[in-house]
Structure 1
Amino acid sequence: MNLNPIMYGELGIIALENCSELGNKVDCHIQKNRLKNLKNDIRDDEAEKKSYLLPIRQIRFSNGEAKIQLTESVRGKDIFIISDIGNYSCTYDMFGFVNHIGPDEHFQDIKRVLSALGGKARRVTVIMPLLYASRQHRRKGRESLDCAIALQELQRLGVNDIITFDVHDPNIQNAIPQISLENLYPTYEIVKTFLKEERDLFIDRTKMLVISPDTGAMDRAIYYSSMLGLDIGLFYKRRDHSLIIKGENPIVQHEYMGRDVENQNILIVDDMIASGESVFDIVLQLKKRKANNIYVATTFSFFTKGIEKFNEFYEKGYIKRVFSTNLTYIPKTIKHAEWFKEVDMSGLIAKVIDNINCDKSISPLLDATEGIKELLAKSNL
C-alpha cells in the first residue's frame, strides 16, 4: 500500500455546539472520502475510524460565565475547530431568564477551546465560515477594529490556519501576516444547486441577467455572469451619509445601470441577506421594469427581521427562489419554505480538512472556475 503522502497528524475535529449539524455532515464526508481513497494514500487504521469528531463539554454557569472541557487527549493531533459565530439558536439560563448566545460569546468559546488544548495539538486550524466581526474590518474615525483584534487573538493563542468563506474584505488577512487566512467561495456549490433546480432557465440565455445589488458585489456578479455566459446589471445604492441608523447609513434610492430587464429572468447575487430590505427594494424596482422570475443567490442568510416579507413576496410572485448555504444557522421553518433552497457546503469543508491534514494544497478548492466549466459541459449548457 502507498502510504505517501503521510498525514500531518492524527485528525481531530472539534465542532462546537453552534456548528454540530454541519460538523456531523463534514465528519461523514471525510469518513467516506478516506474509505474511497484507502488504496491510495490513507492508512487502514485511520480510514476505518468511525468518527473524527472529538467530544467536548461546554459548561455554562448560572451567571453567564463558561468553560470548555476536553474529554480525551489531543496530544500530537491535527485539530480543526469548527464554529458558527452567527448561530443565534443556542441558549442558556442566566439569572432566571433565557439568554441567546451572540457572536461575542461564540468567539469566546473558540478561545476557550484553544486554551483547553494547552498547546498539546500538533497543529490547530480554526474553520469559521462566517468570520467574526468581518463587517467591522476597517476603521473610520474613532471606531474599534474588532475583526483585526480577534484574528490577532487567535494567532497569539497558537492557531496556525484560519479558514473562512466570502469574507467582507479579504484584505483583513494583513492583520495576521504570520499565519494564513484562506477565504473560500461557495460559487460552485450555488451554481450546481441552481442548475439542478432551475435548469430550464438556461435554454435561452438571452432571457436572463445577473444583477449586482451594489458596487461592492460587482466582482461577484461579474464572475457569475462570465461563468454562466450572461449579461450583467448593477444597482447603485444612494445613501444618506448624514444619518446613521442601526449602525449604517440608510439607503435613499437604488439606481439601475444595465440593459433592459423586461421579460428577463434575474439572478441577484450577494454575500449576505441581513434584514432583506435592500433585496426587497431591488426586486420591486425590477418588477416595475417588468422583469420575469427573480432569483437570489447568497452565501449567508440571517433574516434578522424574520421571513414574513419573504413569504409575502413569494406569494405575490415577486421572488421565485432564494439560494443560500448552510454555513450559518438557518431555522427549520426557513429550510422548509417553498421559496428557499439550501446549498450544502459540508462536502467542500471536508475536502479542505482532508487536504490540509494530508499536507496537500487546497489551491484547487479556492478557484471554482474549472469545476463550473465541467458542470456546465456535463449539463450541455
Structure 2
Amino acid sequence: MKEQVENNNLRLMVFKSASELGQKIDEHLLDMYGLDKDKYTFIIPIKENFFEDGHFKVEINDTVRGTDMFCLTDIGNYSVEYKMHGMINHTSPNDLIVELKDGIGASNCHAKNINIVMPLLYAGRQHRRNTRENLLCGMTLREIDEMSRIKSFITFDAHDQGVEHAIHNMEFDNIFATNAILERLIGDLSANRLKKLVFVAPDNGATGRRNVYLNSFNSKFIHREAGSFIKQRDYNNLVDGKYPVIAHEYCGNDDLDGYTAIVSDDMISSGGSMFDVILELKKRNVKYIYLVTTYCLFTKGIDKFKELYEQKMFDGVYTTNLSYIPEEYQKEKWLHICDCSKLVAEVIYNIHNDLSISYILRDKSYPVKLVEEKFMKEKK
C-alpha cells in the first residue's frame, strides 16, 4: 500500500467517476516533486457508499487536517453503478454533484483549503434563462461558493465562462486543452494536409473557439479560411429537450475544393449537428474533415460516426480524456483521445504553490511552433 506524502500538505480527493484520470494526475505530481511513484501518493483514501434508498455517503479514511485538498470529479461519467430498490442505476450528473458536496462536507472543515477540479462543468449548457427555468449552473456554483473553505474552482472549456459571475468568494479558472489537442493533431497530419485549412464553427456559439484554432495556425506555410454554420430551428416542437434543427446555412467561402476542414466545438453531444456539417462541407468539395472537441459525450452512441467514417465522409475526431468515454469507443481508429492529465497536474501544482498559471491560460505560440517545425522538417 502506498504512503501519503508527509512533508507536503497537497492532497487529492479522487472520486470513482474520475479514478483513471486521477491516477495519472497523481503520477505526474509525484514526478514534479521527484517522489517515487511506487511508494508514495497524494490521493486520500475515501469510501463512497451508495445506499439502496438512493442516498450517498462519502467517508474519508485518513486525516485531512491542514491540507490543501483538490477534489476531482467527472460529472459526465455514467459508468459508475449502484443499486436502488433492487435495481441497477447508473450515476447521473445530479448524483455526482451531490456526492462532491458530501465529500466536501466529510472533510468537516479540517482541510486548510478546498479546491474543486471539475473538467466537465455541471449543467454547463444551462447557463442562461430564456423562459421560466432555473439557472442551474450558476446556482450550483453559488452553492459551492458559499461552502466553507472553498478556495478555487477549476474547469476546462466551460460552455460559457460568464457563469463565473454567479460567484464572488472563490477563484474560477477556465482552462483550455487547445494545445494538447493540437499537439496530437499536428503530429498526425502531414504537411500536405495542413497547407490549405478552413476552420469551421458548427454554430454561432462555437465561433470563439473556431477563432482560437484559426489563430493557432498563423503561419506563412498555411493558407487559412474561416466559416461558420447558422442553425435554423423548429421552435414549435420540442424533441428530447431540444428544438430540432431543420437546416444548416454555411457562411464563408464556398470554394473549398482541396481544403482540410477543422470543425471545432466544446463538445459533441448526440452528434446530429456535426453530421449535417460534415455533409454540407463535402458538398463544397472539402477533401479532409477533422472534428476537434474537448468532450465527446456520444449520447446516442457512435453507430452514425462509424457509418460516416466507413463512407470516408470524415477523417477523424480529436478529443480529450477529461471526461468519460466508454472503453469500446476508445478502440475506434477514427477517435483520437489526447491525454490531458499532465495539464491538469500542472494547474494543480501551480495553484498549490501560489504560482502563476498565465502561461497555461494564454500560451498560443506553441501550435505555431509545431507547424513551423513540421514544414521545415518535411522541406528537408
The two structures share one fold, judged by TM-score above 0.5: yes
Which of these residues, 268, 276, 290, is aligned with residue 271 of structure 2?
276
How far 1:289 moved relative to its partner?
1.9
Equivalent position of 1:15 in the other structure = 14
1:265 and 2:260 correspond: yes
**What do the CA deviations read for 1:237-293 (whole angstroms, capped 9, x no partner)?**
111223322222211111111111222111111110000010001111111222211
Separation (CA, whole Å) in 2 of partners of 1:82 and 1:361: 21
Q: Which residue of 1 aligns with 2:77?
A: 87
Alignment equivalent of 2:240, drawn from 229, 236, 246: 246
Aligned partner of residue 253 in structure 1, secondary structure:
strand
Query: Quick check: 1:344 aligned with 2:333?
Result: no
Contact 2:152 2:172 in 1 (8 A): yes
Q: How do 1:39-188 residues align onto structure 2 when only pairs under 5 Å count?
A: 50-158=40-148, 159-188=150-179
Amino acid at match of 1:179: M
Describe the shift of the 1:46–1:153 C-alpha distance in structure 2 as closer, same or farther (beyond 3 A): farther
Corresponding residue of 1:42: none
**Cα distance change, pair 215–143 in 1 and its aligned pair in 2 (3 A):** same
Q: Which one-letter code corresponds to 1:215 in the other structure? A: N
Distance 2:184 2:123 in 1: 29
Q: Kindly tell me: are residues 201 and 328 of structure 1, through their superposed partners in 2, closer, same or farther at Cα, counting changes over 3 Å?
A: farther
Contact kept? 1:187, 1:368, Cα under 8 Å? no
- Partner residue, 1:3: none
Question: How far apart, CA to CA, are the structure 2 residues paired with 1:353 and 1:165?
Answer: 13
- In structure 2, C-alpha distance between the alignment counterparts of 1:250 and 1:343, rounded to whole Å: 31
CA contact (8 A) 1:9 1:357 kept: no
Report the Cα distance in structure 2 between the residues aligned to 1:201 and 1:272, rounded to whole angstroms: 28
Identity %: 36
TM-superposition CA deviations, 1:155-202 (whole Å, max 9, x none): 122221000011111111010022111101111001001011113345
Separation (CA, whole Å) in 1 of partners of 2:41 and 2:192? 41
Query: In the alignment, which residue of structure 2 is the partner of 1:323?
Result: 318
Distance in 2, matches of 1:126 and 1:257, equals 39
378 and 206 in structure 1: CA distance in 2 versus 1, 3 angstrom threshold:
closer
CA deviation profile, 1:125-146 (whole Å, cap 9, x unmatched): 0000011111111112210111
Determine the C-alpha separation between the residues in 2 that align with 1:318 and 1:368.
33
In structure 1, the partner of 2:214 is 225
SS of corresponding position for 1:269:
strand
Separation in 2 of the partners of 1:348 and 1:237? 34
Aligned partners of 1:57 and 1:70 also within 8 Å: yes
Letter in 1 for 2:199: V
Match of 1:212 among 183, 201, 210: 201
Q: 129-138 vs 234-243, which deviates more? A: 234-243
Aligned partners of 1:339 and 1:368: how far apart in 2? 28
Distance 2:37 2:314 in 1: 45
Quick one: structure 1 residues 47 and 86, their matched pair in 2 at CA, closer, same or farther if it must change by over 3 Å? closer
- Unmatched runs of 5 consecutive residues or more in structure 1: 1-7, 36-44
Deviation at 1:375, TM superposition (A): 3.0
Structure 2 equivalent of residue 361 of structure 1: 356
Query: d(CA) in 1 for partners of 2:118 and 2:260?
Result: 34
CA contact (8 A) 1:34 1:47 kept: no
In 1, Cα distance between equivalents of 2:359 and 2:70: 20
* Contact in 2 for aligned 1:227/1:372 (Cα 8 Å): yes
Shift of 1:9: 6.2
Paired residue total? 364
Q: Show CA shifts across 1:41-66 (max 9, x none).
A: xxxx8999611111100011122211
Equivalent AA in structure 2 for residue 216 of structure 1: G
Moved segments of 4+, more than 6 Å = 45-49
Q: Counterpart amino acid of 2:10?
A: L
Q: Distance in 1 between matches of 2:199 and 2:334?
A: 19
Distance in 1, matches of 2:57 and 2:271, equals 36
In structure 2, distance between residues paired with 1:349 and 1:270? 20
Aligned-residue offset at 1:220: 1.0
SS in 2 for 1:348: helix
Task: Check conservation: 2:30, 2:36, Cα contact below 8 A.
Answer: no
Kept after mapping to 1: 8 A contact 2:318/2:335: yes
| 2:52 match: secondary structure | coil
Looking at structure 2, the residues matched to 285 and 379 of structure 1 have their Cα atoms a distance apart, in angstroms, of 30
Q: TM-score, normalised by structure 1?
A: 0.92
**One-letter identity of the residue aligned with 2:114:** V
Displacement after TM superposition at 1:350 (Å): 0.2
Between the aligned partners of 2:284 and 2:128, the Cα distance in structure 1 is 37
Q: How far apart in 1 are the matches of 2:118 and 2:33?
A: 24
> Are 1:9 and 1:122, in contact at CA under 8 Å, matched by a contact in 2?
no
Distance 1:153 1:9 in 2: 29
Cα contact 2:265–2:294 (8 A) shared by 1: yes
Structure 1 vs Structure 2 CA RMSD: 1.9
